Amino acid sequence: QQQVKQSPQSLIVQKGGISIINCAYENTAFDYFPWYQQFPGKGPALLIAIRPDVSEKKEGRFTISFNKSAKQFSLHIMDSQPGDSATYFCAASLPLIIQGAQKLVFGQGTRLTINP
């Protein structure tokens, strides 16, 4: 129930295309869903995050779509660029009042390659 399942494991997209990464969860008590981007040799960097009271959030070329009934959320990268090539992680967290600490459960990651 604490798992977040991420797909696909790897993804190749042409420059200018749309990259889509999906995540699914079981625990309906999760209330915070961030996406992180990680380049080789670096730590994960927060891209965008959403809470379940919103169905979509957009920041620049990055959009999170959230489907509460299906317990799924996805990251869309519009106009994908070679510089977007990185590993992307979705994550989820229970409310602080339940787990007493800030603790993220991560998906397994998606290695995204944007071909020029």
Burial 64-103 (b: 16+ CB within 10 A, else e): bbbeeeebebbbbbeebeeebbbbbbbbbbbeeeeeeeee
Q: Considering the complex, state which of residue 53 and residue 70 has its C-beta at the smaller distance from another protein.
A: 53
- Binders of another protein among residues 15 to 74 (CB under 8 A) are 31-32, 34, 36, 41-46, 49, 51
DSSP state of 99: H
HSE-CB at 55 with a 13 A cutoff on CA atoms is 3
Residue closest to 3 by CA, chosen among 21, 25, 34: 25
Does 8 interact with another protein (rule: CB under 8 A)? no
Does 100 interact with another protein (rule: CB under 8 A)? yes
> Shortest gap between Cβ of 55 and another protein (angstroms)?
18
Does 76 interact with another protein (rule: CB under 8 A)? no
> Shortest gap between Cβ of 18 and another protein (angstroms)?
25
Contact residues for another protein, defined by CB under 8 A: 31-32, 34, 36, 41-46, 49, 51, 89, 91, 93, 95-97, 99-109
